Structure 1
Amino acid sequence: MTALKNVSRQSLTVVDNRTGKTYELPIQHNSVLATDIKKIKAQPQGDHHRPEDETEQGLRVYDPAYMNTAVVQSKITYINGQEGILRYRGYPIEQLVNRSNFLETAYLLIYGQLPTSSQYGNWQNEIMHHTYIHSDIEGMFKSFRYDSHPMSMLTSSFATMGAFAPEANPSLQGQKLYTNAATGDLGALNVLDKQILRIIGKAPTLAAASYRMRQGRPFNRPAQGLSYTGNFLHLLDNLSGHEYRPHPVLEKALDALFIIHADHEVNCSTATVLQVGSSLVDPYSVVAAGCAALYGPSHGGASESAIRMLMEIGSPENVPAFMEKVEKRERVLVGFGHRVYKNVDPRSTAIRQLADEVFKVTGRNQLLDTALELAKYARESEFMRSRNLYPNVDFYSGLIYQAMGFPLDFYPVLFAVPRCVGWLAHWRQQMLNPSGVKIWRPRQLYLGEGQRDYVDMEGRQEKPGSGVFDAPSKVSHGGDSKRNTLATYKDESGDMFKPRL
């Protein structure tokens, strides 16, 4: 590649070697529009051409897993993975963790500025008075099995909330219910912001209900006068008595963790929220979709996986043997490295001091020595440093959650409650786009069969060289299913069903 000298235009010059044509694509904010790439067209040619390549319709950008695709213009969160920088609306995450609180940070993320004293008072009051849930939603929780995963219950409960707010459903009230707010419609803006208050206020109540269901305990009622995280701990833990107050160090630590987890740019769950939100569905369905994405072990389940890994390693002296297996690709290392950060995860730096403060109250986490030995190995190992594998936020947050006594399967829920704020900030920004909301519809590269003619069943043959992926895998049956396959009976059409022996 040769750089052209004396070129100062903010553009990219592309030569299509198929046609010899030259294209000049504008560069804005160090990016080019994918639709400008589409202007590069060619006639079908060569042995490798397939009609499905659609060369006459323009060049496509192939980017598996969105490795380098910007899908939105945003003013919310900035990440520089090379430098290890994370800022909310311009404020470094370290400053917010040390000086702010979760509800103030939530206001910042959603509305763009730190609130004044009166703005914060009104915001806090509204949030804390939207903490109650409908008693029928409590009934819905009681319909789950006793061993249901709390994240499954939380996801379902957010979707259920939408059924209790028909006035907030664009499918019932008109598809422009929220997008009209971008035109200055104050009624639409009021409906939009009211749902934000409801979701942020009720998220801890729903999360606590999933926890109490697993414990077989009755649900607590939200408490007025406590902080956001103080009320959450009350909802989780209060058994009887009056004037319940959580330990201030644990309350502060959870509040700081909520700040750290509130947003992280267009990650998997936020991209899911924006994808679903682009259909103009109600925000409860949007948040439920975000929860479903966060549920995955590669996303919100990572801190749980990190603790399970530390438990498996057992003690510091076992770290070298475990890492030997990691380097041989025999085991997966969890809690180190990040898709974006190629330096130290700034959230892990902010969280490290919190861990020490919590351990002073709860006692030293028995896994801490193993974790510190693993972190030391990462600093000294050429294998780790060459791959930018540093401890991430999941590594330390999992240790804190375990020290505070939360069960492993509750970790994704503790992630989801604060992340509702980030999801809603991005959703609100999407709805207030003056250009309107276009439904997200990614393209694909079709590599399947070309056109072929239908063959009647008697003329079909099994595909030569078929493998295990080319037909349904065999399903084993047991219990009543096995007994039923051995029974004889007539089905609804009157045909006799005979055993498959």
Structure 2
Amino acid sequence: MNQQMTMESFDLAGVIVGETAISDVDGEAGRLSYRGVDIVDLVERPFAEVAWLVLFGERPDSAQQQQLTRFLCAHAELDQRERALLAELPSGLHPMLVLQGLVPLIELPTEQSLGLGLDAEHGLALAGKLSGLIAAYYRREQGLEPAANTSDTDFHYNFLSLFHGEAPDADAVRMLDAAQILQMEHSFNAGTFAGRVCASTLAPIQSSISASIGTLYGRLHGGADQAALEMAQAIGHPEQAAEYVHRCLADKVKIMGMGHREYRTVDPRAKLLKPMAMQLCREPQSRQLLETLVAVEAACQAEFAERGKEIWANVEFYKGAVFHSLGIPSHFFTAMFAMARVYGYIAHFLEFSRDSRLIRPRARYNPNLD
């Protein structure tokens, strides 16, 4: 057996490695649901409502939503120790390495304040802290001090204020809510599974989240959003998309953000995000990037149709245009993904920890791989 055959035979594609009630990815039908509720019915709901549903399996009442939002906003603000940790980091680190490295160093609450269990509250404290770390690290790149909280009633309003140092408009908050809901959870993806493997050793939740974030960083996972937008920037104009796609396919170069391993039809998240982006990305540069991405998808579909195949953009493909329109640089896109997916990571940690067993697969020894 050669190396290529071995890699293809043991990539776990289609192998059931556990059970979950958190989300269901129906790749054949192109559907995604959280706790049995279709993502179509959740994308315009309040962010805190969807986060609570993913975490605890039920819709919260208004008091619980407010309580969760206040908790997340409170933990978004960095204390002096956390600011000092951030200041000591080498310049030029990718934001994902910053998050992966700092998550285990955050001091967590020693007592419950929400009555949700200490693991859940530790996870939520880290979820809030991710937003503060992302915003403060961006401002450090700009030579600015971290901003102070401006809200305890709207998590993403507060985040965008921390990030830019000024209040966002309502459309920006609505677009960020939708994008983050769409990427909050996705069953046993690579990052989530890495976190479950870590949790199976009885490591604490901060180690599990850090492992998940490190896995999400990869270009074949969360990093596709950054790669897709930077591709559009390199192409320059929609009119040049067809030539670019033809050249990539001829040279067998992967076009990041096109196709999804799980979906045999259109990614339901991209189906929802694309029209939102078309409606709300009005700033000229963001609009041109979005139109370039649309042209790339159309060119890919035309090329694949000639081969008797179909291909569709996934959620990472159009998400970059949304984040660009919000004034978020491309090297922060995957950190924004982590800021949303962390609720899925917490939910899986809590679910798995109720009846955990060490995940210890076997390997077939093959001396011919060298």
Q: When the two structures are superposed, what TM-score results if normalisation uses the length of structure 1?
A: 0.68
Distance in 1 separating the partners of 2:74 and 2:290: 39
- 1:424 paired to 2:369: no
Q: How does 1:434-445 map to 2 (within 5 A)?
A: 437-445=356-364
Contact 1:303–1:411 (8 Å) recurs in 2: yes
Equivalent residue number for residue 4 of structure 2: none
Q: Which amino acid aligns with 1:310?
A: A
After superposition, give the CA deviation of every residue in 1:363-422 in whole Å (9 maximum; x if it has no partner).
Answer: 752223322222222343344774432011111101111222221111111101011100
Task: Give how far 1:197 is off.
Answer: 2.7
Which of 165, 172, 182 is the equivalent residue of 1:260? Answer: 182
1:365 to 287, 293, 313: 287
Matched to 1:154, the amino acid is L
The unaligned stretches of length 5 or more in structure 2 are 2-7
The alpha-carbon distance between structure 1 residues 324 and 379, as it changes in their structure 2 partners (threshold 3 A), is closer
The aligned amino acid for 2:353 is: M
Q: Name the structure 2 match of 1:476.
A: none
| Residue 370 (structure 2) pairs with residue 447 (structure 1) | no
Aligned length: 362
Asked if the contact 2:304/2:311 (under 8 Å) is kept, the reply is no
Segment of structure 1 superposing worse, 364-373 or 104-113: 364-373
Is 2:240 the partner of 1:318? yes
Instruction: For residue 321 of structure 1, report the CA deviation from its aligned partner.
Output: 2.1
Alpha-carbon distance in structure 2 between the residues aligned to 1:414 and 1:308: 16
Residues 104 and 189 of structure 1: is their aligned pair in 2 closer, same or farther, counting only changes over 3 Å? closer
CA positional deviation for 1:258 = 0.8
Following superposition, the deviation at residue 315 of structure 1 comes to 2.1
* Structure 1 partner of 2:148: 221
Q: 1 or 2 for the larger relative contact order (CA 8 Å, sep ≥6)?
A: 2
Secondary structure of the structure 2 residue equivalent to 1:381: helix
Helix, strand or coil for the counterpart of 2:24? strand
Amino acid in structure 2 at the alignment position of 1:202: K
Q: Distance in 2 between matches of 1:386 and 1:232?
A: 45
Q: TM-score, normalised by structure 2?
A: 0.91
Residue identity in the other structure for 2:269: R
Is 1:231 the counterpart of 2:177 in the alignment? no
Structure that is richer in helix per residue: 2
> Which deviations, in whole Å up to 9, do the C-alpha atoms of 1:455-487 show, x marking residues without a partner?
xxxxxxxxxxxxxx97xxxxxxxxxxxxxxxxx
1:195 aligns with 2:122: yes
1:235–1:211 Cα change, 3 Å: same
Distance in 2 (alpha carbons) for counterparts of 1:421 and 1:283:
12
How far 1:145 sits from its partner (Å)?
2.2
Separation (CA, whole Å) in 2 of partners of 1:425 and 1:194: 11
- Is contact 1:154-1:210 (8 Å) kept? no
The 5-angstrom pairing of residues 50-449 of structure 1 reads: 64-98=10-44, 100-161=45-106, 164-165=107-108, 190-238=117-165, 244-360=166-282, 365-383=287-305, 386-433=308-355, 437-448=356-367
Structure 1 residue 281 displacement after superposition? 1.0
Percent pairwise identity: 27
> How far does residue 447 in structure 1 lie from its aligned partner after superposition?
1.1
Tell whether the 8 Å contact from 2:199 to 2:349 is kept in structure 1 after alignment: yes
Letter in 2 for 1:440: I
Cα-to-partner distance string for 1:30-56 (whole Å, 9 max, x where unaligned): xxxxxxxxxxxxxxxxxx9xxxxxxxx
Amino acid at match of 1:374: V
Cα shift readout 1:76-114 (whole Å, capped 9, x = no counterpart): 10011111000011111111113x122111100010011
Distance 1:225 1:123, change over 3 A: closer
5+ unaligned residues in a row in structure 1: which ranges? Answer: 1-47, 49-61, 169-187, 239-243, 450-468, 471-501
Q: 1:478 corresponds to which residue?
A: none
Letter matched to residue 83 of structure 1: A
- Contact 1:378 1:385 survives alignment (8 Å): no
Larger Rg: 1
RMSD: 2.4
